[in-house]
Amino acid sequence: MAKARKLPSGTWRCQVYSHTENGKRIYKSFSASTKKEAEYMAAEYAMDKGKKKDEISNMTFSEALNTYIEKRATVLSPATIREYERLKNKNFKLLNEIKLSDISQDFIQEQINIDALTLSAKSVRNMHGLISVVLKVYRPGFILNTALPAKTRPEIYVPTDAEIKKLLKTIENTPLEIPVLLAVFGPLRRGEICALHTDDIKGNVIHIKHSMVLDKDKQWQIKSPKTYSSDRLIDLPNAVIAKIRGKTGYIVDLTPDSISSRFRHALNHAGLKHFRFHDLRHYHASISHALGIPDQYIMARGGWSSDRVLKTVYRHTMSDKLSQMTEKANTHFNNILE
């Protein structure tokens, strides 16, 4: 049993081993006015810790994941919880019924190798991330060192000015017009568009403070933004505000899924190649960057928390602009050669 030591202050302190974190032994301290009391508190903790350790070691991964979600239900977004539930039911079937104490690095590596054959690198990494955080909570001494598939450069598409103009002409005076205008000139996400209320608009400034998301029961909910940076103020062009003026309540009577569905039909009707509604945000960021607007302002307007997204996804030169710049450069070079 751990022995208490008397501190210069006159109180007694007893330390007992708690767990190992990153190879370092972590101790929990108990202080009391008497040696006996401090040692009793430490012994009680050690005994309870032993019981809890046995209970945890007998938990299956599925039980541990359920407990992890339940204890964080108030801070996790409905979309995040829905994704955790999806992974548990679809991708963790072999892992779910295994006791935490029986999970080994070799087993996790084998599962990752199998999943990597049919799933994208991003999906596999997301799965491993969830496994890792659950094991970190319920098996803190167990450190995963899994070899994961290499990250792949995201395939994105940035619409051209001509495509945007053709799209806007096709959807004029339809229910999809305002969502597209908000995505192109906002740039708002689908969920932010569906949750935008007239109470959030003052003059030309809109306050993005809610988003529509799908919960684990596949019900649409209006909630606060997922990140701090997503809560923002955006000054919209007069032409966009003019389309909204006069409305009351929610700006659009659509869900994120219905926006995507209508958007696909609009692209077909316009004779445009398929791209995602979300790619309208790519267009906004790319145009802003091409105009020389500093990254911090693009980030603030789009609700991005870091420039990593801009560097890896949004900072792309559009094909029509590239052609213009190439022609300009070649003209200059031809003048030199002549």
Superfamily designation of domain 161-322: Intergrase catalytic core (1.10.443.10)
Q: Where are the domains of the chain?
A: 5-57, 61-138, 161-322
CA distance 142 to 118: 27
φ and ψ at residue 299, rounded to 5 degrees: -60, -45
- Least Cα distance to 266 among 160, 164, 167 occurs for 167
Instruction: Please answer whether residues 172 and 242 qualify as being in contact, where contact means their C-beta atoms are separated by less than 8 angstroms.
Output: no
**pLDDT tens digits, residue range 135-183?**
988 887 788 899 999 887 767 788 989 999 999 999 999 999 999 999 9
pLDDT digits (tens, 9 = 90+) for 183-242: 999 999 999 999 999 999 999 999 999 999 988 888 999 998 877 889 999 999 999 999
Closest CA to 94 of 56, 55, 131, 147: 131
3-state secondary structure of 10: coil
Contact 286, 315 (CB under 8 A): yes
Decide: 282 and 189 in contact? Cβ < 8 Å.
no
Which of 270, 253, 72, 289 has the alpha carbon at shortest distance from 178? 253
pTM score, whole prediction:
0.69
Q: Which two tokens stand for residue 199?
A: 């109470």
What token pair was written down for 231?
A: 């809560």
The pLDDT-based confidence of 55 (bands split at 50, 70, 90) is low
